Chain A
Amino acid sequence: MHRAGEGTSGRLPDAFLRPGSASFVDFLADHAPEMLPGRRATAHGTAGAVNPAELAPHATTIVAVTFGEPGAPASGVVMAGDRRATMGSMIANRDMEKVFPADEYSAVGIAGTAGIAVEVVRLFQLELEHYEKIEGSLLSLDGKANRLGTMIRGNLPLAMQGLAVVPLFAGYDLDRGNGRIFSYDVTGGRYEERDHHSVGSGSIFARGALKKLWKPGLSAEDAVHVVVEALFDAADDDSATGGPDTMRRIFPVVATVTADGYRRVPEDELEQLVEQIVAQRRERGSVA
């Protein structure tokens, strides 16, 4: 076991000094494959005996929308995720974070089996950072999206047993000067989405809201408003999606990615926005 450079009398293992690719995932697959998510030995033939949904917490709704005119200085993408994780019909966690910075110019949100998803995100962040350090330059946005697809594909055996991970990836394309959104399926298929997209159990309801609320050339503030409303609608009809919790002051994680980089929208800004939305909906009556 050569984990973390131990063994071999303290010197760097030969695998570390061998010329190779700039990919950390490839390095792990070579040197310590058991550390890759999705590569672990799984119990075969037990599928059906346990319901995976009740075995491990699941993360739910993620939405993303682009904003601004492509190429304009104020263009970019905003991503938001609710905070609830469920295990069967039980709430496993109410302040889980499901939207993460992948690197300076991209964000990744996760739906599906929380434990594996969080590990995939951690590895993906490291993959991008590792490449940046070794090569001295950033991967293209398409390159990042493809790397994430490869990692999701590696999780296919577990997905077949019900422990699927479905991310949503969004970032600012420095070459094209606009925000872009990518969705995935469990086989690692990568699909570029136009304008807006949502994944997770509440995505059907969120998508309906996005279709009505999104329009071309939104400002960043309007885009944040749109995603929070969409999550509100998802939480309204999907039991696994958590709405804004004004009592505990738990609000969705909302992040914008622009030419200036990744920025998480501060809590107090979200609190004002949520209060505004709640007031509007109260006025309109119980139909929300």
Chain B
Amino acid sequence: MTMPFYVSPEQLMKDRADFARKGIARGRSVVVLAYDEGIAFATVNSSRALHKISEIYDRIGFAAVGKYNEFENLRVAGVRYADLRGYSYDRSDVTARGLANAYAQTLGTVFITESKPLEVELVVAEVGVTSAQDQIYRLTYDGTVADEHGFVVMGGQAEQLGRRVEEAWRPEMSLGEVLRLAVGVLGAGEGGGPAAPAGAAGAAGAGPSAGKGTTAAAGKAGAAGATGAGGAGAGAAGAAPLEVSQLEVAVLERSRPRRSFRRLTGQVLAGLLADGDAPSADAPSADAPTAGEPAAGASGKPKGTDKPKASAKPIAPEEPETPEEPDDGPDPQQGD
């Protein structure tokens, strides 16, 4: 007969939070940026069918990172919530604030009562009549709501990429400008991202994870060597500028009359990214070498950003346990 060990509430909450954070950090980042005529969402996702960014209602968009089956469930619930509310009252009575509250309560309750917290992080954004009325809510696994201004980066190397966005983002940028910023940052995340754990946790531990993360990213770029080569090889392959086909981009356009959500793909997206400078103009060119030589390149700023991730250290040994995580999983099979 085994007696259950006493676990202090602090430890229990911390364990759950660590568990959720780990799951979320494994995925690719999603960037949400306000621009002069709306709100833009961007992420790396080569699937055309399994979305991380989607429409909830006329003026409300949704973006998520983490486990696909979990956030898909929340997305469907959000669409039902919004449609039912709009049907029983009026379309104008559906607000991002109301939805964010419902999500927060749901996430909070699951975090406390269920055996496993939801490994997701969400953004609920509503485009207003003017940019001052735009609302961006960020919801974390434990039900915390943050009312963000201007931009959000979540998932993957969120802190590091968030800092990059913070430096470059300013109010009233154009759509082309924010998309180039987003893609530059995401590209840096793809290349530089895996290097970060390498610096923090040592080459041995981070090798496999870095290799995996970028293999999926480089995809058809022929990164066959990356899997074996570990951090260095993978980093180099991942530093290539992102292609349009790898991106999932959508906007909430202020000027559209009713349903403001629109996906940007193919030629339209390529045109917006190519407008003016090269697509990767916003990604500091110094980044490529950084990615190539993790140890040396990670010195200076990126290294500093790794420090807060010290808690990520214990993750490394566990990585092999979850080999099914090439990315955050717009792959239904891996949802369990």
Contacts and interface: CB of A to CB of B under 8 A. Distances in A.
Contact of A133 (B54, B84, B103): B54
B86 A11 contact: no
Interface in B97-121: 98, 101-103, 105-106, 108-109
Given A5-B102, A19-B73, A136-B49, A32 B79 contact: no
A123 B84 CA distance: 10
A28 B87 CA distance: 10
A122 B109 CA distance: 34
B103 A5 contact: no
Interface string A203-231: 00000000000000000000000000000
A139 interface: no
A11 B102 contact: yes
Interface in B64-105: 73-74, 76-81, 83-89, 98, 101-103, 105
Interface string A1-31: 0011100011110001101000010011001
Interface string B289-303: 000000000000000
A5 B103 CA distance: 11
Interface in A81-123: 122-123
Contact of B73 (A4, A17, A126): A17
Contacts of A129: 83, 259
Interface SS of chain A: helix, strand, loop or mixed?
helix
Contact of B83 (A9, A10, A24, A136): A24
Contact of B87 (A11, A16, A35, A134): A35
B87 A123 contact: yes
Contacts, number: 71
A12 B49 contact: no
Contacts of B86: 126
B106 A12 contact: yes
B51 interface: yes
B325 interface: no
Nearest to A130: B83
The number of chain B residues touching the other chain, given as a range, is 20 to 34
Secondary structure of the B contact surface, majority rule: helix
Contact of A136 (B54, B81, B101, B106): B54
A3 B93 CA distance: 14
Nearest to B107: A11
Contacts of A10: 101-102, 105
Contacts of A17: 73-74, 76-77, 106
A122 B77 contact: no
Contacts of A28: 84, 87
B249 to A, nearest CB: 15
Given A11-B102, A12-B103, A133-B56, A4 B77 contact: no
Given A4-B88, A28-B84, A133 B105 contact: no
B84 A3 contact: yes
Interface in A247-266: none
Contact of A12 (B81, B83, B87, B89): B81
B85 A5 contact: yes
B143 to A, nearest CB: 9
Contacts of B81: 4-5, 12, 16
12 contacts: A3-B84, A3-B88, A4-B88, A10-B102, A12-B106, A17-B73, A17-B74, A19-B73, A126-B87, A129-B83, A129-B259, A130-B80
Interface of A: 3-5, 9-12, 16-17, 19, 24, 27-28, 31-32, 35, 122-123, 126, 129-130, 133-134, 136
List 5 tightest A-B contacts by C-beta distance, closest first.
Answer: A11-B105, A16-B77, A10-B105, A4-B85, A11-B106
